[in-house]
Structure 1
Amino acid sequence: MCSAPARLVLYVEDDRINLVLMEEVFRRLPGWRLECAEDGAQALSMLEGLQPDLLLIDMNLPDMTGLELLAQLRAVATDSALRCVALSADDLPDQVEAARAAGFSDYWVKPIDVMKMVAALQRALA
């Protein structure tokens, strides 16, 4: 019997602690695979060889904002249904609205509640 292919998530985050936490979470999720990029340029480069089901994008990267990265992703994406979720410690209403208006499908506030995140992952890719 063949198992379903793993769902691939690309996490773009420059904070090493957040990367390690997310790697540990995904290590315990059967059927999921996590790839990580530490800045926007690396994420764009990785997308040439990956077709992620979902991107988790920190809004404050060292080389660009999450909004700038999303705009560049949309310009080069071969999949028009690319699903992206913004992550940030900032949860001001105007920032959340700007992210949604730019095309992020959701906005998760750090620190991430792992149980809520897993449920949201499942909903995002249902």
Structure 2
Amino acid sequence: MTTRQVLYVEDDPVNAMLMQGILELRPGCSLQVARSGAEARRLVIQGRVDLLLCDLHLPDVGGDGLLAQLRAEGLPESVPALLVTAESESVAAQLARSHGYDGYWTKPLDVAATLRSLEHWLDR
């Protein structure tokens, strides 16, 4: 079985630890955390990504603009990208739609719902 590579662009260590804990509940998943847009671009260039999760507020770039940069660096259009944000559902949906994301998750994350959604996006 191929390990699915999830890239989470998140500068808050607590949120990164929470996501790591959630992904540990899903066998066959490996999480890489990028703490900035620059680090995310480097990781996209270096290796395979099966799912991109991206925070909205990063130290060097907004998550709203990062997806286009990562696609330009070689992240395939076929790789699903989700915005992960503390914004309200309606704002998150609008931001995700307007910036090319396939969907969104709102913080605080519900573990069971996140795992179900993870299955959906990884099994596409």
TM, length-normalised to structure 1:
0.90
- Partner letter of residue 89 of structure 1? A
What SS is found at the alignment partner of 1:8? strand
The partner residue of 1:116 within 103, 113, 118 is 113
1:36 equivalent in structure 2: 33
For structure 1, which runs of at least 5 residues remain unmatched after alignment? none
For structure 2, which runs of at least 5 residues remain unmatched after alignment? none
What SS is found at the alignment partner of 2:45? coil
The question of whether the paired residues in 2 share the 8 Å contact of 1:56 and 1:87 is answered with yes
Distance in 2 separating the partners of 1:100 and 1:13: 20
What SS is found at the alignment partner of 1:116? helix
Moved over 6 A (4+): none
- Partner letter of residue 68 of structure 2? A
1:106 matches 2:103: yes
Question: What percent of counterpart residues are identical?
Answer: 37
CA-to-partner distance for each residue in 1:51-107, whole Å, 9 max, x for gaps? 111010001111111111111012122522121000110126244213212211111
Kindly tell me: are residues 95 and 111 of structure 1, through their superposed partners in 2, closer, same or farther at Cα, counting changes over 3 Å?
Answer: closer
What SS is found at the alignment partner of 1:48? helix
Q: Point out the structure with max Rg over C-alpha.
A: 1
Q: CA RMSD in A?
A: 1.4
Alignment coverage as a number of residue pairs: 123
The question of whether the paired residues in 1 share the 8 Å contact of 2:49 and 2:75 is answered with no
